[in-house]
Structure 1
Amino acid sequence: MAAAPAPTVRPVILGGDIGAYATARTFHEAYGVRSVVLAGVSTWQVARSVAVDHRVVPSLSRPDRLVATLREVVAERPEVTHLLLASADWYVDALVAHRAELEAMPGRVVVPYAGAEALDRIGDKGSFTALCRELGLPVPETVVVRAPDGPAAAAGLRFPVVVKASSTTAYHAVSFPGQQKVDRATDPTALATVLARIAGAGFDGDLLVQEEIPGPDSEMAAVNLFFDADGTWRFAQYGRVLLEEHTPGALGNSVAQVTGVHRGVVDQARRLLEHVGWRGFANVDLKRDPRDGVHRFLEVNPRVGRSGYAVTASGYDISRMYVDGFVTQTGGSAQVAGAGTGDGVVGTNEHLFHVLPLPLVRRYVDDADAALVRRLVRSGRATNPLLYLAERDPRRWAAVAAAQLNQVRKFARYHPKQRPRAT
């Protein structure tokens, strides 16, 4: 598809992961613009890309450094609208905390995120769980503890359990050997070990201890939603996960997902976010409990995640939603056929999003999902955001190829499926 006439918008994306690259690719495909991507270190995901002006900024996570850097970037082109985006929760928090200062810069600067109060209610996993209960939305059995409390604080829960920090931003601020995004404990002794390790690192924030919902990766799901600057719901789409990451630092990240339809879950997610007055994108993580078939709410990412490119790939363009909803404020964010419901669209297009080589996806899913993958690939409805044909630098393609091969090693080492079947 040819790029549309470029609006006077310049995306600035904080963070250098696959999600940052996928967002930059979306804007480049739709409008032919390059996004400025700021990161603390150089990363292969965004380096040498036709869609990215990659800038390494040491100590970018420091608020003063972040604001000063954004001021310099905006001053380069004060005649355009700068759309400030983030690929990690802590960067979202920083943008919202400094919204007034950022939006007062010369020219027009837009921070397309919800307010601090809504972020606190959704972003803090303890508050989120309480909010879901208040609204009658299903969640896993959960207790909130502090690491020094020990396993007795989780008495009454059935093992195995998972342990995760209530605040992703606060947990990101500490670093210690054995640190994982999510820990798992099969009994009270294992839970004691996990809590002791976290306490020993000096982390004194809230932790969630939740009963683990059984079932493989394919029971996971996500709903992507978009609300415009006025808080009007414009778009939502359900996606069923096929595979997740299992490396300790990235556990739970979706690496293969199929978009589809589940109206009941979409309606629940929309009701949750409307209740807090949401703005911009959100990615709601759920898991279907095979014991009763109920999707239980796990958390909300207050931004476009790496699997957010599934929305664009399936025909509902993320960049156009941002531009229509926050820059030109003309609404009409989806602009393609879907299940319309008054002011918004529910995405219905089926598409495979993946960041793994397709043979690896087929190897680690069950027979039914392997057949689904083959069908979508044959019909041209499968997209890996890293394989962008507009890229021309051979060094970038070499880095992408090396990363794809590295996935084979990672899955062989970390995926719980001991004997993957041959493709």
Structure 2
Amino acid sequence: MKNQKVDFTPVLLGSDFNAYGMARSLYEIYRRPVKAYAQTQLAPTRFTKIVDLELIPGFSEDPVWINTMKKLKQRYADHEEPVILIGCGDGYAELIAKHKAELEDVFVCPYIDYDLLKKLNDKENFYKMCDQYDLPYPKTKIISKAMYESGDDIEQPFGYPVALKPANSVEWLDIHFEGRKKAFIIKSEAEFKSVVAKSYDNGYTSDFILQDFIPGDDSNMRTLNVYVDRHHKVKLMCLGHPLLEDPAPAAIGNYVAIIPEFDQDIYNRVQTFLEEINFHGYANFDIKYDTRDNSYKLFEINLRTGRSSFFVTLNGHHLADWVVQDYVFDSLNDKPTLYANKDQSQYFLWLGVTPQIFEKYAKDNDSKRQAIQMISEGRYGDTFWYAKDKNIKRFALYKWMMHNYAKSFKRYFVEK
């Protein structure tokens, strides 16, 4: 998309890889640093000239968040240009939607209403909507706190291994105990009982999603990034094929290698769903291919861009600019949906680890061989290491992060 001469101010909430990737996407086009607010300083936004980060203690939750945002409203109230608020994490996206009515007199808030967000964020409700719109998902059983507190054995109908994940991903961020993970692959009855007990005993109140485990390694996963305009029309769909995930317990499900992919059937199904529920804004879907019935099954929807979503920008579709084109330039209205990745010769591999780690640990298959060929041709990149933001401190930080990844893979990686 072109650099157009209309002023606007983007405001990012967060300091993680997602925030840096969105800032980089905007900086590449508009050549201006992006303002960001966050509770803590994370590595991706350290020692950078493209993100102007302001730290606010307690900013990740109410009441600090909304009280701070009311003060920030005063700071931006005299801006005549659009001020676009972009949440770069589940919690921030939910807070913007929750308080949208209090904010949108000053900020552009490209988020759905809070009631719909809560339905989609809760995996139990999301799967009910999948049933409505003929979107396949893994066989599922709901585990509630009441079932645990009853003292009765909880029936587990799938055999082992099974997948267990919190239905409320936002509440789960505040739950801590030894062995906590983003999601669990449970291998025995004893482990199942232990995880459920520790979770509820340490303050978790929402349901768990217990699911039939879909076999296969990381390369069976797919990730879909979507932008839906303010008129509820899907404008961008970009599918990625993850080839490797972070094995660390706290980071399970975080992709570290993605190659672009094209699948019109996935695009069509998800587009119909999003347009019929009157969605708008960014969405990211996690999907897995099930070899048992040759179908793609949806795991979840994230109502924001993800930490690996920079693969979309790397492949020529500046992810952060879609909301700018929508709300600032009003340029999307007459444009058809862009179904990305039709031309394999234009593919770029996105990496969150070094090429050496990728080559050592990714499953050997045709997609890996394609990725290695792309590396040899220089058709790859990552979120953090940006030519226009290089300095000795970021170089040292990058080396430190890659060193930690190497140690983490050596310690935790298990072939699936």
**TM-score, normalized by the shorter chain, greater than 0.5:** yes
Q: Write out aligned runs for 1:43-192 (5 A).
A: 43-77=42-76, 78-79=78-79, 80-105=81-106, 109-147=107-145, 149-150=147-148, 152-192=153-193
Name stretches of at least 5 consecutive residues in structure 1 with no aligned partner: 334-341, 419-423
User: How do residues 275-314 of structure 1 correspond to structure 2 at under 5 angstroms?
Assistant: 275-314=276-315
C-alpha distance in 1, partners of 2:231/2:5? 23
**Deviation per residue, 1:116-164 (Å, 9 max, x gap):** 2321222110011111122221111101112452484343223211111
| 1:336-382 alpha-carbon deviations (Å, 9 max, x no partner) | xxxxxx73110025221111111111111233333212222234421
Q: Give the equivalent residue in structure 2 for 1:391.
A: 389
Offset at residue 72 of structure 1 (A): 4.0
Whole-angstrom distance in 2 between the partners of 1:210 and 1:370: 28
Give the 3 Å change call, closer, same or farther, for CA 26–6 of structure 1 in structure 2.
Answer: farther
1:313-358 CA-to-partner distances (Å, cap 9, x unmatched) read 111111221111122222179xxxxxxxx73110025221111111
d(CA) in 1 for partners of 2:362 and 2:43? 28
Deviation at 1:87, TM superposition (A): 1.6
SS of 1:118's partner is helix
Q: How far apart are residue 99 of structure 1 and its match?
A: 0.7
Matched residues in 2 for 1:29 and 1:154: separation? Answer: 53
Which of 377-386 and 228-237 deviates more? 377-386
Displacement of 1:15: 1.6
Corresponding residue of 1:358: 355
**How far apart, in 2, do the equivalents of 1:202 and 1:255 lie?**
31
Deviations 1:19-48 (A, max 9, x none): 111111111111112222212112221012
For 2:340, the aligned partner's letter is G
Q: TM-score scaled by structure 1?
A: 0.91
Corresponding residue of 2:370: 372
State the alpha-carbon separation in 1 of the partners of residues 183 and 367 from structure 2.
26
Q: Could you tell me which residue of structure 2 aligns to residue 347 of structure 1?
A: 340
Count of residue correspondences: 406
Q: Match for 1:43: what amino acid?
A: L
Residue 403 of structure 1, CA deviation:
0.5
Moved over 6 A (4+): none
Query: Contact 2:120–2:301 at 8 Å: present in 1 too?
Result: yes
Structure 2: how far apart are the matches of 1:223 and 1:198?
30
Q: Which residue does 1:41 correspond to in 2?
A: 40
Q: Distance in 2 between matches of 1:216 and 1:290?
A: 11
Q: Structure 1: which amino acid aligns with 2:214?
A: I
Whole-angstrom distance in 2 between the partners of 1:246 and 1:392: 28
Change (3 A) 1:396 1:332: farther
C-alpha separation between the residues in 1 aligned to 2:190 and 2:353?
36
What secondary structure sits across from 2:308 in the alignment?
helix
| Matched-pair contact (CA < 8 Å) for 2:243–2:368 | no
RMSD: 2.1
Residue 187 of structure 2 aligns with an amino acid whose one-letter code is T
Q: Find the aligned partners of 1:82 and 1:222 in 2 and give their Cα distance.
A: 29
In structure 2, the partner of 1:339 is: none
* Displacement of 1:6: 5.8
Residues of 2 paired with 1:238 and 1:396: CA distance? 30
* Change in CA separation of 1:332 and 1:406 when aligned onto 2, cut-off 3 Å: farther
Q: Does 1:228 align with 2:229?
A: yes
TM-score in terms of structure 2 length: 0.92
Unaligned runs of 5+ in 2: none
Secondary structure at the residue paired with 1:256? strand
User: Closer, same or farther in 2 for the Cα pair 1:344/1:213, shift >3 Å?
Assistant: same
The 8 Å contact of residues 217 and 363 in structure 2, kept in 1 or not, is answered as no
C-alpha distance in structure 2 between counterparts of 1:357 and 1:401, whole Å: 10
Q: How does 1:176-215 map to 2 (within 5 A)?
A: 176-215=177-216
Identity between Structure 1 and Structure 2 (%): 25
Residues 1:6 and 1:158: Cα distance change in structure 2 (over 3 Å): farther
| Counterparts of 1:86 and 1:7, CA distance in 2 | 23
1:217-296 alignment, distance < 5 Å: 217-296=218-297
Q: CA deviation at 1:13?
A: 1.4
In the aligned structure 2, how far is the partner of 1:296 from the partner of 1:213? 9
Inter-partner Cα distance in structure 2 for 1:280 and 1:160 = 36
Instruction: Kindly indicate whether the alpha-carbon contact (under 8 Å) linking 1:261 and 1:347 is maintained by their aligned counterparts in 2.
Output: yes
For residues 9 and 249 of structure 1, the distance between their equivalents in structure 2, rounded to whole angstroms, comes to 37
